[in-house]
Structure 1
Amino acid sequence: MAKFPVVTLKVGDNPDSPMSTRYPPMTGLTQEQFTHLHDRAYEAMDQGALGEASQHFAELLQHRPDAAHYHYMRGLAHKYLMDWPTALRHNLRAIELGNGKNEAEHWNAAIAATALGQWEQARQLWKACGVRIDEGSGPIDDDFGVAVVRLNPWHGGETVFMRRIDPVRARLLNVPLPESGHRFGDIVLHDGASTGTRFDGDRQVPVFNELERLVPSGFQTFAAFVSCDSPADLKDLLAASAPGIGFAEDWTGSITYYCLRCSYGAPHKHSENADNQWQPERNLGIAAQSRLSVEKLLEDWAAKGAGRSIEGIETRELAAPEPEEGSAWWCGPEDEEDAEEGGA
């Protein structure tokens, strides 16, 4: 399922090799017991049971303290637990034991160092991965292009565009639904491996899983319900500006899996809409510093055109859903295909 180095135990490995999988003498385990523990650790990881996987890899390391692959795997489990000190410690040890040959260990160590704000170490690790990093100090603040992030991938996974400011940190460019617990302008930490692609209007860009929100935005999220007679009216609204407004976008076409107005209790009537027919009722997501900013924006827009009306402004503040064990949410479609075909 997941793409991590699965080591197959076999009798006859060179016991002097740092990657040897032959259990050492005097461990208190038979070969059969050690193999069973090894298998249980990888199975727990496959099933998304991160706490159990960590425990098993810790026990394996008691018997094989210099096994780089077990340090890597325990570090991986703690990356997805968002336990950054432990993830960093085990990935650095895996790098040391593996003589710096495995790029995945460098990437995961760099992600953990970035999450911890250990910038000198993070910069060194990114450079070891072959990533271009400026020669400054402190947080990396560059332009690594636009990509898509799957927010809370363990719970639904709303996707929004983001601008990457370093290899795994990015600023959100869309207005996420309040249910995501995120806001326009949040800085999030995302995983290093993409889980697909999305068309951004010009080209295909990678999709990454979010790991954690690092810096909350100062903007609130408002849902505005308006009505207008034409796409030109809507275009005017989306292009308008007012003090305290960060960004406004039309949620009507992009959020279709439930009636947004019903979810907010906004009074309205459902009307049938044929394909390609203009829908006057529009649901907007607006990032703003205050409700007064939203009211000013909408009132100015409504006053400048016939047939424009404001039907409601609502806001909610919700916490992001916490990860739960039992799902390997970090796996992308390619990983699932590999599993179905018998891949590791």
Structure 2
Amino acid sequence: MTDTTHSFSDLHGAAYDAMDRGALTEASRLFAALLDAEPDKRAYHYMRGLAHKYMRDWPLCLQHNLRAKALADDECEAEHWNAAIAATAMGDWAEARRLWTSCGIRVPEGDGPIDDDYGVAVSRLNPWHGGETVFIRRIDPVRGRLLNVPLPESGHRFGDIVLHDGAATGHRYDGEHKVPVFNEMARLVPSEFQTFVVFIRCGQRDDRDALLRATAPGIGYAEDWTESVRHYCLRCSYGTPHRHDAVRDDDWRPDRNLGIAAQSRRAVEHLLAQWVAGGGDRHLEAIETREVEPPPCEEGHVWWRGPDED
């Protein structure tokens, strides 16, 4: 083996090793060096495009995946999907529509953004930083609108439109069916709804349910986080005084923590005033809100892999 061959082999191994470690900037640089030596190597274009996909650098992702697609024998390999994801992220709707259609994906007629019903799924928000999971209504092959009220710390809101990856990393039940779980790639369109964290006390489940069913101008959606958010005491984290009562799993917990998506604080105050006035053992303890930016995506771990992948 010549020194040149040995050097190229080392470069090849180092590039794939960097990708396996989640060192995306290093991987991109090494695959670029490999392409200098073999400019028509489909695998290297695909891998550099993949690195830039997870860096969320969409122009270079699109460029290299289109080149890999041109060098591929099959019309709908992974590079085809990744090119379509990049075009969607960039808002290049003509290219996105062309790519999805040529891959056999149903796309409604039109020229602008795709807006159809592709079913319910789950999106793992900020998968590089904890990964809160929420249900989404998919409006195109890789975009969805949030159906839950996410925690403010996620930097997301009810109604956000997010871009998600093309490959599922697991499944969850939506109450009736098994639905795919996709990693979020980016928040594309922020929602008009703010997230308000509301602490109430009510003696009966029916009182809580009455609030969840209530509607008012400016209110998008309300959900009870009391059992779903278990990893810390939400009230303590917001500095709301209360006592920790010892309860069994089947006991009703009078202290409830709700997430309410609303256009303004006034809308939330109006909703809760009506609820309290409705009678029963109903008490409002606090309304809090926090505006938090989504956490940055940092290199160094392979957040895009599913739990069953090596």
Global fold match (TM > 0.5): yes
Please say if 1:237 is aligned against 2:211.
yes
- 2:262 maps to a residue whose letter is A
Residue of structure 2 in register with 1:35 after alignment: 9
**TM-score where L is the length of structure 1:** 0.88
- Match of 1:38, SS state, is helix
Please say if 1:288 is aligned against 2:248.
no
The partner residue of 2:240 within 255, 266, 283 is: 266
Give the Cα–Cα distance (whole angstroms) in 1 for the partners of residues 188 and 215 of structure 2: 28
Contact 2:207 2:280 in 1 (8 A): no
Residue of structure 2 in register with 1:20 after alignment: none
Residue of structure 2 in register with 1:16 after alignment: none
The partner residue of 2:280 within 306, 310, 314 is: 306
- Match of 2:172, SS state, is strand
Please say if 1:215 is aligned against 2:227.
no
- 1:314 maps to a residue whose letter is E
Residue of structure 2 in register with 1:186 after alignment: 160
- 1:83 maps to a residue whose letter is D
Please say if 1:201 is aligned against 2:147.
no
Change (3 A) 1:64 1:161: same
- 2:146 maps to a residue whose letter is L
Contact 2:204 2:281 in 1 (8 A): no
Point out where structure 2 has 5 or more consecutive residues left out of the alignment: none
Please say if 1:250 is aligned against 2:229.
no
How many residues are matched?
A: 310
The partner residue of 2:20 within 46, 63, 83 is: 46
Deviation (angstroms), 1:279: 0.4
The partner residue of 1:323 within 297, 301, 307 is: 297
Residue of structure 1 in register with 2:250 after alignment: 276
Deviation (angstroms), 1:60: 0.2
Give the Cα–Cα distance (whole angstroms) in 1 for the partners of residues 294 and 56 of structure 2: 15
Give the Cα–Cα distance (whole angstroms) in 2 for the partners of residues 199 and 45 of structure 1: 32
Give the Cα–Cα distance (whole angstroms) in 2 for the partners of residues 137 and 192 of structure 1: 22
- 2:29 maps to a residue whose letter is Q
Deviation (angstroms), 1:231: 1.1
Change (3 A) 1:63 1:102: farther
Residue of structure 2 in register with 1:117 after alignment: 91
Give the Cα–Cα distance (whole angstroms) in 1 for the partners of residues 78 and 93 of structure 2: 19
Change (3 A) 1:236 1:199: same
Residue of structure 2 in register with 1:145 after alignment: 119
- Highest CA radius of gyration, 1 or 2? 1
Deviation (angstroms), 1:203: 1.1
More displaced 10-residue stretch of structure 1: 286-295 or 126-135: 126-135
Give the Cα–Cα distance (whole angstroms) in 1 for the partners of residues 33 and 76 of structure 2: 23
Give the Cα–Cα distance (whole angstroms) in 2 for the partners of residues 236 and 105 of structure 1: 49
- 1:328 maps to a residue whose letter is V
The partner residue of 1:84 within 58, 62, 73 is: 58
Identity %, equivalent residues: 65
Give the Cα–Cα distance (whole angstroms) in 2 for the partners of residues 115 and 208 of structure 1: 15
Contact 1:168 1:191 in 2 (8 A): yes
Give the Cα–Cα distance (whole angstroms) in 1 for the partners of residues 189 and 64 of structure 2: 26
Change (3 A) 1:29 1:300: farther
- Match of 1:30, SS state, is helix
- 1:238 maps to a residue whose letter is L
- Match of 2:236, SS state, is helix
Give the Cα–Cα distance (whole angstroms) in 2 for the partners of residues 306 and 29 of structure 1: 83
The partner residue of 1:168 within 142, 158, 163 is: 142
Residue of structure 1 in register with 2:36 after alignment: 62
- Match of 2:308, SS state, is helix
CA deviation vs aligned residue, 1:209-238 (integer Å, no higher than 9, x gap): 000000000111000000111111111100
CA deviation vs aligned residue, 1:279-330 (integer Å, no higher than 9, x gap): 0010000000111100110110011122100000000001110011110000
Residue of structure 2 in register with 1:93 after alignment: 67
Give the Cα–Cα distance (whole angstroms) in 2 for the partners of residues 230 and 127 of structure 1: 52
Structure 1 segments (4+ residues) deviating >4 Å: none
Deviation (angstroms), 1:334: 2.0
**TM-score where L is the length of structure 2:** 0.98
Give the Cα–Cα distance (whole angstroms) in 1 for the partners of residues 263 and 93 of structure 2: 31
Contact 1:106 1:128 in 2 (8 A): no
Give the Cα–Cα distance (whole angstroms) in 1 for the partners of residues 278 and 205 of structure 2: 15
Residue of structure 2 in register with 1:133 after alignment: 107
- 2:123 maps to a residue whose letter is V
The CA RMSD measured in Å over matched residues stands at 1.2
- 2:248 maps to a residue whose letter is A
- 1:146 maps to a residue whose letter is V
Give the Cα–Cα distance (whole angstroms) in 2 for the partners of residues 106 and 100 of structure 1: 9
- Match of 2:298, SS state, is coil
Deviation (angstroms), 1:102: 5.0
Deviation (angstroms), 1:99: 3.8
